[in-house]
Chain A
Amino acid sequence: MSESFNDGRFEVYWPRAAKQGAKKPGARRLDTMDGKTVAFLWDKLFQGDLMFEVIKEELSARFPGMRFVDWTAFGNTHGADEKARVAALPGLLKELRADAVVSAVGA
């Protein structure tokens, strides 16, 4: 059987696979930070715990009524049991009455 080329010319195909899914918007943003509860999620990399402490200080100084949920309430969001921990987040966040999330560290 001859190849689909003549005189050393090849008719070739795209080597990738088709992308899936339709784009969706993110959650509605907070109207204000005042009185809101922010939960911290950490992958236990690069001093995220220290970052959270500084962010807490900064946010508390600007919005005194804010409340925070420490990362330890959720465990490490990276690694061996990542899938189970991340899947449990919606329930835990609801239980802890969180309004928003800060997730770290991408580095």
Chain B
Amino acid sequence: MLRASAVCEDAGLPSVSLVSDGFLGQAKVITKALRYSSLPVARLVGHPGAQSEDDLKRNIREVTAQQVITGLTQQGADVGEDDAEPNPEVPVLIGSLEEVNDHYLRREWSDGLPIIPPTRERIERFLAHTRRPADEVVATLTLPENRAVTVWSIAVNGVMAGCRPEYMPILIALIEAMGDRNYGLEHSGNTPGADTLIILNGPIIRELGFNYTQGVMRDGFQANTTVGRFWRLALRNLAGFLPHKMDKATYGNTWRVVVPENEEVLARIGWPSVAVDMGFAPTDSTVTISRMTGGDPAVGVTGGTPEELLPFIADSVQRSVNWQIGFTLDAGTLRPVVFLSPVLAETIAAAGWSKRRVKEYLFRHARQPAWQIERLRADWKRHPGWNLTDEVKKGVLPAIFAESDDPRRLVPVVWDPEQFIVAVTGDPLRTNAYVFAHNGVLGFPVTKKIDGK
């Protein structure tokens, strides 16, 4: 919203943004990040989503309207500048392990777990694993703090996270992905509090000893765990998402460990990896990032054929889609992720099914009754009268969403089968799957190739 205001200001038009009480501090930080001395706001009392229509109207009349006039006719107060920041090339402290950890915690540079002290020697060991110079800018993360991330600063955070130096090419690829505009980093502090799912593909999985079998999403495997921790430290230190500041997660969750696919099984059954689905070669090592609010296993999937196995999984997929559809249906941007354990994938593939056919099955069977989607939008989100048939008539939605007028008809949760992301990973011999809820339109899947040294 402030981003739109900034574009208007750039075009010479004064703007005022309507901001609720809980987001006034964030508005100030974003104003600084966008490098404005002022982007006026008009206050929304409390939260507009938790007020009756009468209360909301009264608050707008009594408080907001006058601030709109003021914001459009008077220059706002300068948000000021932050204190000068340290020179990256100069040590910030000489101290014991405890003193270093206390120092970093006090300055909000740490996540609360002990860090490995980023000494020059340790940083240089990471730098030795890339051809790129230490001062090269890998990505400029415009929002929220407009910071230019160098190879050096990536290495510092990699050391702190407990990564091994040889993980450095993965860390660089992750920051390239973080800076990709298609991913939408700027939404990383939004209230649903999603966290990033990192899927790893390619020869690097085995070269660096990542776990891709039993317990693949569990901590306890250095490569998976520390690279996942690096991501969250990077969001904090390199992007600027801190809880109680720019990270407005209502609840949030901890970072996810990196999830590699089981590429031996994929090769055996002839299915493409996620990276290949995203347009890369099977020989490429890649990271794929997307933001997920949550996930749940489908436990004890039972059957000897795809027709017996997939109904349970399709049902789990449709159950995982709730509020997200309110944000994604209009543009067809939902990207649900399904993990199949190797034994499930092998059983499905043994019947001659391709991964594409699995996605088509999910498209046809992971469906919800039309009335359920309409209730979410029309009643719960307060868009009275909204319905799928009208949206199809207006050309907003494809015809498949209005094949009849029956409110009990089943409609898909995505527009196209290829919008399902299917990965093969986890305990090779357990018949469980896992389904992730995609965070609406925020955090689109982005894949980057990992460049070796």
Contact = CB atoms under 8 A, between A and B. Distances in A.
A19 B145 contact: yes
A101 interface: yes
Interface residues of B, number: 99
Contacts of A107: 19-20, 22-23, 44, 47-49
A102 B16 contact: yes
A23 B15 contact: no
Interface string A62-91: 100000000000001111111100110110
Nearest to B44: A107
A86 B147 contact: no
Interface in A88-107: 89-90, 93-94, 98-107
Contacts of B141: 17
A33 B72 contact: yes
Given A24-B35, A28-B12, A106-B41, A17 B18 contact: no
B121 A33 contact: no
B426 interface: no
Nearest to B442: A79
A100 B156 contact: no
Interface in A1-41: 1-5, 8-33, 38, 41
Nearest to A91: B11
A79 B68 contact: no
A105 B441 contact: no
A23 B17 contact: no
B72 A87 contact: no
Interface in B328-358: 328, 330-331, 333
Contact of B13 (A18, A62, A83, A100): A100
Contacts of B117: 5, 10, 12
A4 B119 contact: yes
Contacts of A100: 13-16, 72
A19 B27 CA distance: 18
Contact of A12 (B10, B37, B118): B118
A48 B18 contact: yes
B36 A23 contact: yes
B94 A30 contact: no
Contact of B5 (A50, A51, A101): A101
Most chain B CB inside 10 Å of its own CB: which residue of A50, A55, A59: A55
Most chain A CB inside 10 Å of its own CB: which residue of B3, B8, B157: B8
Contacts of A5: 94, 117, 119
B409 interface: no
Interface in B93-111: 93-97, 100, 103-104, 109
A98 B20 CA distance: 25
B160 interface: yes
B121 A27 contact: no
A18 B148 contact: yes
A18 B8 contact: no
B399 interface: no
Interface residues of A, number: 68
Interface in B357-389: 382
A50 B18 contact: no
A105 B20 contact: yes
A78 B145 contact: no
Nearest to A85: B4
Contacts of A78: 1, 441
Contacts of B153: 15-17
B72 to A, nearest CB: 5
Contact of A27 (B13, B53, B109, B150): B13
B48 A51 contact: yes
B119 A3 contact: yes
B85 A12 contact: no
Contacts of A62: 69
A93 B87 CA distance: 42
Contact of B35 (A12, A17, A21, A33): A21
B453 to A, nearest CB: 19
Nearest to A42: B1
Contact of B48 (A16, A33, A47, A102): A47
Interface string B132-159: 0000000011000111111001001100
Contacts of A23: 35-37, 81
B148 A20 contact: yes
A47 B56 contact: yes
Contacts of A8: 96-97
23 contacts: A9-B94, A10-B93, A15-B104, A17-B150, A19-B147, A20-B147, A24-B35, A25-B75, A33-B69, A33-B73, A46-B48, A51-B18, A51-B64, A58-B61, A59-B65, A80-B333, A90-B10, A93-B13, A100-B14, A101-B14, A102-B15, A105-B48, A107-B47
The 6 closest A-B pairs by CB, nearest first: A90-B11, A107-B20, A80-B331, A104-B18, A58-B65, A10-B117
